[in-house]
Chain A
Amino acid sequence: MTDTTPETGPKLAPTTWVNPLTPWGTAGQDDVTSVQAPDPRQPWDENTAYKAKTYKVGRLKHYIVWPAHGAKLWDRWRWWPTRRNLLHIKGLYNRKTLKAEKKILDRRPVYWAICLLLLAIAPFFFPESMENTLLSAGAIFGIFAAINVCWTLIVGTASIFSLASYAVVGVAAFLTTWLSANMGLPWYTLPLIGAFMGLAMGAIIAIPALRLDGFYYALLTLGLNELCRVFFTTSSEFGSASGGLYGADTYISDQWEPYAQSLTGYYGAFLLMIASLFLFRFINGKRLGRILRMAPEKREAFAEACGVDYRRARVTIFVLTSAALGFIGGFYAAQFGGVAFQIFSFDTVLLGLAMITIGGIGKAEGAILGTLVVTVLDKVMIDWGPIRHFSIGLIMLGVVLFLSNGYFGIKKQFNAWRDKKRGEWRSIRSEKGGEALPEEATEQDDKDELFFRRFDKMQRDYLKGLICPEIIEEHRRQPLGQHSEALERVCYYFRRAPMEDKYALHHDHAKDRYKIIAFSGKRGVSPRVVDDREYDNVGDAYHAIFIRRVHDLMES
């Protein structure tokens, strides 16, 4: 393409330019056919306003921003025994005022504290008429939230699409109930025994996960779930006649008043949920979680090449979490004194899926919010009848259709959407390589750059008009040295360009040939080859660069 004559600007009056060096004999070209360069102030006279409508920019300070401590001592508290500060706060200088301000970079601990506190004191504010329903729903919420937090670790953090979480819980619950009922084990041993069972099951289910992926693995685990259901429902040992197995020792004594029983159940489940959150924090927020964040889906091969053993991390998480699920199963038995076959039913799996999807897979807060929504609909809004399952379905549908990662993905999704919209608006409003608009100026710290963009735009507007076959021919004949005014102005502009993507030549000594390259403008970063085309002599190569620069100018 570099050989073609570029688009040229409007026709200017031709002129013969007399080289001032002619009397000295050093001119190279004496009389040159060129064009008359018009007044360079012309574009400044023509461009006295933005072509796009301009709007005022600025964001009102509508909340309190705390000043930094300045000369006062700032005693930073930590979460014992970690080195983590109470809140991730940073001092920053306000770009508008230079005032030193504090910014909480991660507000989630505040929200967690408020929400957990609300859950902790909620029973005291339940209306009396609903007290029983809400307390038992709360207990179920706590246990299911714990299960879902574990499940989201498997599906989210470890990216293992297992549907067997409820199967693990169920098996552990059934076996511990059976052990307790038949061998008289006390309630506090059940979660621990459950954990061992979970560990064993996890290890078994993990083996195929080494080979199977995605849909196939989901099918396998679903099959496993079904296998458990069929086994337990048909086995008389496990109460095939009574719809479940009961009779385990429980920490809630039936001697107590019903309200005390419900309240104990509520807080027991609440503590279980807190424990699961700690598990989540220690797996997702520590080494294992970090390893897996380096190996997100579809980029595993790259991570592996970097030495990240993501398979091992995934399986470790799976096995650990299965133990936790087993623990929950044992706890379930110790809470309710037994378990129903319902735990293996496909509905349960589906409801569970709804729970982790609504809030956002891979996030503890997502699992908990999802569980809350579904439990409230399922267990509290009993008056609604079948509509409530219908609405769960609708919510799930809505989440899957409109949100990319559940409720807690909304912020990120919204920001991405706003960025996209901003890009679209900018591309409509601003010209490529044009002046900076007021909204763009907010992102620029060096205000000098804003004037440079204006100046550059005027320059280009002017120089585009000078490009014509005459000056291109003049350059071809003599790339270096004294040029006519029209060509010299164009060359000055080209030579002054910033370093990024500025053209130069590469000389291959062995072949004695030249290639066009472009500098990176970044210290220590090599130039890139622009074009494979090679030139025999340096003059042709200089001219090829010139043509390329003319093309770039005319396209801007």
Chain B
Amino acid sequence: MAQQKIFGYANKISVKQGESIDFHVNCDGADTAEVQLVQLIHGDNHKDGPGYIEREIDNPVNGTWAVKKQFTQLGNFLRIDDPEKHLKCDGSLSMGCFIWPSHPKKGERQTIMGRFDCLTNEGFAMGISPDGYLEFWVGDGKEIDYVTAELPLIRHLWYFVGVSFNAETGEATLYQEGVLNRYNSLLGPVVPYTLSSHVRTTFRFRQSNREDVPFLIGGALDHHEARGHFINDMLCGKVDRPFLSDRPLTREELDHCRETGKAPASGLLAYWDTAAGYTDKGIGNTVIDTGPYKLHAEGYNHPVRGMTGWNWNGKNDCFRLAPEEFGGIELHPDAITDCNWDVTGTMEIPADLKSGVYAIRLRIGPGTGLAEEYIVFFVRPSKPQAKLCFLVPTASYLAYANETLAFDAQIIQPMTGQPPVVTDIDIETYEHGEFGLSTYNSYEDGAGVCFSSYKRPIINMRPKYRMAGMNVTWQFPADLSIVAWIDRMGYDCDFVTDEDLHLEGIDAIKDYNCILTGTHPEYVSERMLDAQEDWVAQGGRLVYMGGNGYYWCVGFPEDTPWCMEVRKLDSGMRAWAAKPGEHYLVSTGEKSGLWRNRGRAPQKLTAVGMISEGFETAAPYRKMPDAFHRTVSWITEGVEGEIIGDSGLAYGGAAGIEIDRYDLALGTPPHTKIVASSGGHSDNYVLVTEEILYAYAGMVGSLDYRIRADMTYFTSWNNGAVFSTGSIGYGQALPAEDFNGTASKVLKNVVDAFIKDGPLPGGWWTLEEKQWR
């Protein structure tokens, strides 16, 4: 029997009562799946907690769905819709393009541009041979004839490559010249490489073009019996200003193209000006053809645009300043932002379905392990109903979606101070790679992944999952500990996601008195941050339940808000570093990287910001002297002694994993009080890189006083306030001791006070003290 596996995703991550949501499911080894709507309460099976809790909900969707095998088109390429077949060159032709190959010796053929069918050998294309040489080939439906350049392409250097094919004589002439300057390539001018190659050969036959083959940049058509047509032989690297002409260009004409980046007008069929159409609000997926037929190209799976081009000279660091220097489009054969599977089932959200965390549970065969799938989504009320809101950090879920650090990152064991614990589902997705990567991964060619979306199965956004590198719950399953706490405490709570906040701004949250964040709301867009700041200033009460939050600046393309973009750069604890000149988000035109480096350190909203991470142990908090001040003493009411959070599902303490610190120098509101702080962190807790100007020995837990989690409180305008825990582990500490631990008590005090209308407790104790002791 074939192995039974089931995976799926929904077309929405956040859905309102009364709306409908589609589910896309891929299944191996079964034709039908059992469907059950469940409400997710707790996702961690840790022995110190309540265990895994879900509630089956009656709904017409329950029953069985017909499921099937679905295929995923991985990779970036640009597809040109050419209904009038202008690009179907049956005779002479020339093509040219600047390229920056990132994996030339891939061992597989790569197509730079052309109109070619790999299965039937029809058409023409220019590409890179498996051993890294520029090649031009034509196919007549039976055979391929080709010409190969003399010298191999070198990784990460800019070239101008082209071909001139004279159909009358059959002469095909390849053109390859390096165009590296002092800035644009990996190597500089001192390296004695001869990059030129000009090879001519006479072909035995001409191309025969089939009507239905598309012209593609960065790929070629292929076919599979079960799957049908798909795109294969994709390019790793950047392309810039590709063009196609219907006559053989001379060497001098191609020299001119190389020098100017422009193509000769006579005979021109298409010239994709990769730097055209940029705005200061970003760049879309459409690459504009300024040639005679305006055959614009459409990027698939979000090719990375606005990258430094062949003519980038290092002076301008953003595509907004000099668009013409940022015409590079980076293509990756393993990129994926939308699986585009057929819809398997649809569900109408009943108007009376309580706002919360839900999943469609699918089971086939044994119904466990890989034969069980939870497609998670969040239900919002049609109108706000509760005082309390849980702000689901879906942007951060996307950032970590399908991370494989345990498998690929040599640094993960030194960072986490422990060997990873992997499960079957980790191995399965790692082997197949079809569900794409997280922003903690690199593509096969080494470039960091900057786009992540939820239109694909996300194996770590599901209950029961533990992050392999640290063997604790992380992001979604960790946040379920907060959800379970809300449930146990009996609060009425509405669930709003990052996506809602990004799309609707403050309107999405303005009616709530209190917002609880997730355990690790690390990725935020400007609109999300603005909305939260404005809401607090208008009297909202924010409970920042995490660590390392409000850290990375992200963007969402206007037309594809289900896809998130981030660039990691300059400083910060980062999995990769964007290349020079590639620090700006194409979705919005903003500079990415840390919010701190853009003048909006997290301290300005939450009073605390990232200071350290360690992962292998956790510590409790101990009350700080200010905890006894009556402005805040109500927060720790009911806590016996001074220790808070000495139990938990994440390494047995509330302060751990990643922790945040109060810092006036970074914008902690000056009237903030530190209610409690953790201490005694192990030496695996190291100072974060953005804090380091000079590195020196001993920036570790037992030697550096800054390494601690601060629990802080400050008030804002209109009875607004912010309470921060400053630790990822706090959320996982809530279910310990049957939700009765000190961490839970403190949070209950805060939430009880925050959801009430009117002034906050402690507000009267504000006069300058006249101390007797």
Are A and B genuine complex partners?
yes
Residues of chain A having any CB pair with chain B under 8 Å: 20-21, 23-28, 68-78, 81, 83, 85, 90-93, 97-100, 102, 479-482, 488, 491-492, 494-499, 502-510, 514, 517, 519, 523-527, 538, 542, 545
B422 touches A527 (CB 8 A): yes
Cβ contacts A to B, 15 pairs, < 8 Å:
A20-B702, A21-B701, A26-B679, A26-B680, A91-B150, A497-B413, A499-B409, A505-B419, A505-B420, A505-B421, A507-B422, A509-B423, A509-B424, A523-B444, A524-B430
Instruction: Please tell me if the beta carbons of A68 and B151 are within 8 angstroms of each other in the complex.
Output: yes
By beta carbon, the residue of chain B nearest A19 is: B702
Digit string of B702-732 for contact with A (CB within 8 Å is 1, else 0)? Answer: 1100000000000000000000000000000
| A526–B406 alpha-carbon span in the complex (Å) | 12
Nearest-neighbour CB distance to chain A for B276, whole angstroms, equals 31
A-contact 0/1 string along B55-99, CB 8 Å cutoff:
000000000000000000000000000000000000000000000
* Shortest Cβ distance from residue A514 to the other chain B in the assembled complex, whole angstroms: 7
Point out the residues of chain A lying under 8 angstroms from B369, CB to CB.
509-510
Tell me which residues across on chain A come within 8 A of B680, comparing CB atoms. 21, 23-27
What separation, in Å, do the CA atoms of A69 and B198 have in the docked complex?
8
- Interface 9-mer from B189-197, B335-343, B344-352, B761-769: B189-197
Q: In the assembled complex, which residues on chain B have CB atoms less than 8 Å from the CB atom of A91? A: 149-152, 197
Q: Which of B199-207, B379-387, B451-459, B662-670 contacts A (4 or more CB under 8 A)?
A: B199-207
Known contacts A73-B198, A91-B197; is A526 also within 8 Å of B427 by CB? yes
Whether B202 pairs with A78 at a CB distance below 8 angstroms is yes
Q: Which residue of chain B has its CB nearest to the CB of A544?
A: B419
* A471 shortest CB reach to chain B, Å: 16
In the assembled complex, the Cα of A527 lies from the Cα of B151 at a distance in Å of 37
Chain B residues within 8 Å of A495, by CB: 413-414, 417
Using known A-B contacts A28-B617, A74-B150, A74-B200, determine if residue A504 contacts B679 with beta carbons closer than 8 Å: no
If the complex has contacts A71-B196, A75-B201, A100-B151, are A482 and B683 also in contact, measured as CB distance less than 8 A? yes
Taking the complex as formed, is B433 at the interface, i.e. its CB lies under 8 A from any CB of chain A? yes
Beta-carbon contact of B413 and A26 below 8 Å: no
Beta-carbon contact of B431 and A99 below 8 Å: no
B146-172 with Cβ < 8 A to chain A? 146-147, 149-152, 154
The interface residues of chain A lying within 8 Å CB-to-CB of B414 are 492, 495-496
- State whether B147 touches A26 (Cβ < 8 A): no
A503 touches B419 (CB 8 A): yes
Chain B residues positioned under 8 Å from A523 (CB to CB): 408, 444
Known: A68-B150, A480-B418, A480-B617. A527 touches B681 (CB 8 A): no
B471 at the interface (CB under 8 A from A): yes
**Residues on the B chain within 8 Å of A507, using CB:** 421-423
Is the CB–CB distance between B418 and A542 below 8 Å? yes
* Nearest 8 Cβ contacts at the A-B interface: A24-B680, A26-B680, A91-B150, A495-B413, A20-B702, A100-B194, A91-B151, A482-B682
Q: Assess whether A74 is in contact with B198, with CB atoms less than 8 Å apart.
A: yes
CB-based contact B417/A26 at 8 Å: no
Given contacts A85-B201, A481-B684, A499-B408, 12 further A-B contacts (CB under 8 A): A23-B680, A25-B680, A69-B198, A73-B199, A75-B201, A91-B197, A93-B152, A98-B192, A100-B150, A499-B410, A506-B421, A506-B422
- B window 114-166: CB within 8 A of A: 133, 143, 145-147, 149-152, 154
B444 x A98 contact (CB < 8 A): no
Task: Please tell me if the beta carbons of A98 and B193 are within 8 angstroms of each other in the complex.
Answer: yes
Q: At the interface, yes or no: B619 with Cβ under 8 Å from chain A?
A: yes
Interface: B407 (CB within 8 A): yes
Contacts of B173 in A (CB 8 A): 73
Q: With both chains docked as a complex, state the minimum distance between the C-beta of A503 and any C-beta of chain B, in angstroms.
A: 6
Interface residues of B in 424-470 (CB under 8 A from A): 424, 427, 430-433, 444, 464, 468
Give bound CA distance, A517 to B468, whole Å.
13
Closest to B466 in A: A507
> B368 on the interface (CB 8 Å rule)?
yes
Q: Which of B192, B468, B701 contacts A99 (CB 8 A)?
A: B192
C-alpha spacing A41/B154, complex, angstroms: 40
Does B683 contact A488, Cβ atoms closer than 8 Å?
yes
CB-defined contacts of A519 to chain B, threshold 8 Å: 406-407
Let me know if A538 and B198 touch, CB within 8 A: no
- Given contacts A71-B196, A492-B414, A506-B423, are A480 and B616 in contact (CB under 8 A)? yes
**Are B145 and A93 neighbours in the complex by a CB distance under 8 Å?**
no
Q: A164 → chain B, closest Cβ, in Å? A: 37
User: Nearest A residue to B414 by beta-carbon distance?
Assistant: A495
A508 CA / B147 CA spacing, docked (Å):
53
- Looking at the assembled complex, report how far the CB atom of A70 sits from the nearest CB atom of chain B, in whole angstroms: 5
CB–CB B679/A24 < 8 A? yes
Chain A residues contacting B200 (CB-CB under 8 Å) are: 73-76
How far is it, in angstroms, between the C-alpha of A524 and the C-alpha of B468 when the chains are bound?
16
Q: Judging by beta carbons under 8 Å apart, are B421 and A504 in contact?
A: yes
The answer, among B421, B427, B620, for a CB contact under 8 Å with A538, is B421
> Given A93-B152, A507-B423, do A83 and B198 touch, yes or no (CB 8 Å)?
no
Measured between alpha carbons, how far is A508 from B152 in the docked complex, in Å?
47
- Chain B 675-710 per-residue mask, 1 if CB under 8 angstroms from chain A, else 0: 000011111100000000000000001110000000
Quick one: given A21-B682, A507-B423, are A74 and B199 in contact (CB under 8 Å)? yes
Q: How far is the CB of B142 from chain A (nearest CB, A)?
A: 12
One of A98, A481, A498 near B410 (C-beta < 8 A): A498
Residue numbers in A under 8 Å from B424 (CB-CB): 508-509
The reply to whether A509 and B619 form a contact with Cβ atoms under 8 Å apart is: no
State whether B419 touches A482 (Cβ < 8 A): no
Q: Do residues A72 and B410 form an inter-chain contact, with CB atoms below 8 A?
A: no
Shortest Cβ distance from A17 into chain B, in angstroms? 12
A97 in complex: contacting residue of B192, B431, B703, CB < 8 Å: B192
A504 B193 Cβ-Cβ under 8 A: no
Docked complex Cα distance between A415 and B352 (Å): 79
Query: Across the interface, do A482 and B702 meet the contact criterion of CB distance under 8 Å?
Result: yes
A68 and B423 form a contact (CB under 8 A): no
Residues of A contacting B251 with CB < 8 Å? 73
Q: How far is the CA of A538 from the CA of B470 in the complex (A)?
A: 12
- Look across to chain A and name the residue whose beta carbon is closest to the beta carbon of B441: A523
Instruction: Produce 1/0 per residue, B618-629, CB < 8 A to A.
Output: 011000000000
- Taken together as a complex, chains A and B put the C-alpha atoms of A47 and B69 apart, in Å, by 60
A480 touches B198 (CB 8 A): no
The complex places the Cα of A223 from the Cα of B150 at a distance, in Å, of: 55
Contact B197 A68 (CB under 8 A): yes
Task: Determine the distance from Cα of A73 to Cα of B471 in the docked complex, in whole angstroms.
Answer: 60
- Whose C-beta in chain B lies nearest to the C-beta of A524? B433
Q: What are the residues of chain B within 8 A of A26 when measuring CB–CB?
A: 617, 619-620, 653, 679-682
In the complex, the chain A residue whose C-beta lies closest to that of B409 is A499
Residue in B417, B430, B464, B619 whose beta carbon sits within 8 Å of that of A24 in the complex: B619
Interchain CA distance A502-B149 in the complex, whole Å: 41
Q: How far is the CA of A197 from the CA of B620 in the complex (A)?
A: 96
Which residues of B have CB within 8 Å of A74? 150, 197-200
Q: Which residues of B contact A482 (CB under 8 A)?
A: 617, 682-684, 702
Inside 8 A of A502's CB, which chain B residues have their CB?
Answer: 410, 413
Report the minimum CB–CB distance from A550 to chain B (whole Å).
14
Q: B420: which A residues are within 8 A, CB to CB?
A: 504-505
User: For residue A545, which residues in chain B have a CB less than 8 angstroms away from its CB?
Assistant: 419
- Residues of chain B within 8 A of A514, CB atoms compared: 421
Whether the pair B147, A76 counts as a contact (CB closer than 8 A) is yes
Which B residues lie within 8 Å of A504 (CB)? 406, 419-422, 468
Evaluate whether A93 and B193 lie within 8 angstroms (CB atoms) in the complex, with A502-B413, A524-B430, A538-B421 already known.
yes
Contacts of A75 in B (CB 8 A): 199-201
CB distance from A132 to the nearest CB of B (A): 47
A545–B419 Cα gap in the complex (Å)? 8
Q: Which residues of B contact A527 (CB under 8 A)?
A: 407, 422, 427
A72 to B151, CA, bound (A): 13
Residues of B within 8 A of A97 (CB): 192
Which of A93, A499, A510 is in CB contact (< 8 Å) with B368?
A510
Q: Distance (Å) between the CB of A534 and the closest chain B CB? A: 13
Q: Which residues of chain B are near A27, meaning CB under 8 Å? A: 680
Residue of A at shortest CB range from B205?
A: A83
Most B-side CB within 10 Å, residue of A24, A85, A510: A24
